[in-house]
Amino acid sequence: MKEMKFSIEIPAVKEIVWDVLWRDETFREWASIIDPETYMVGELKQGNEVQFISAHGGYGVTSLVEEIIPNEFLLLRHSADTQDEGARSRENEWTGGAERYSLVEHEGVTTLTTSFDVPTEMLEYFEEAYPRALGRVKELAEKPNNTRRLL
* Rounded CA separation 24/6 (Å): 22
pLDDT value of position 94 = 57
Q: Can you tell me the mean pLDDT for 20-37?
A: 94
- What's the rounded Cα separation, in Å, for the pair 27 and 19? 9
How far CA 126 is from CA of 41, 82, 146, in Å, comes to 23, 20, 27
Query: The pTM is what?
Result: 0.87
Q: Are residues 89 and 82 in contact, defined by beta-carbon separation less than 8 angstroms?
A: yes
Instruction: Residue 105: give the domain boundaries.
Output: 2-149
Contact 8, 112 (CB under 8 A): yes
SS3 label, residue 48? coil
Q: State the amino acid at position 78 in one-letter form.
A: H
Residues 42-81 pLDDT 10s: 999 999 999 898 877 777 888 999 999 999 999 999 887 6
> Domain with 141 in it: what CATH number?
3.30.530.20
* Contacts of residue 101, Cβ cutoff 8 Å, sequence gap at least 6: 21, 73, 74, 112, 113, 114
Domains of the chain: total: 1
Whether 62 contacts 79, CB under 8 Å:
yes
Amino acid at 146: N
φ and ψ of 93, to 5 deg: -70, -25
Q: Is the pLDDT of residue 90 over 60?
A: no
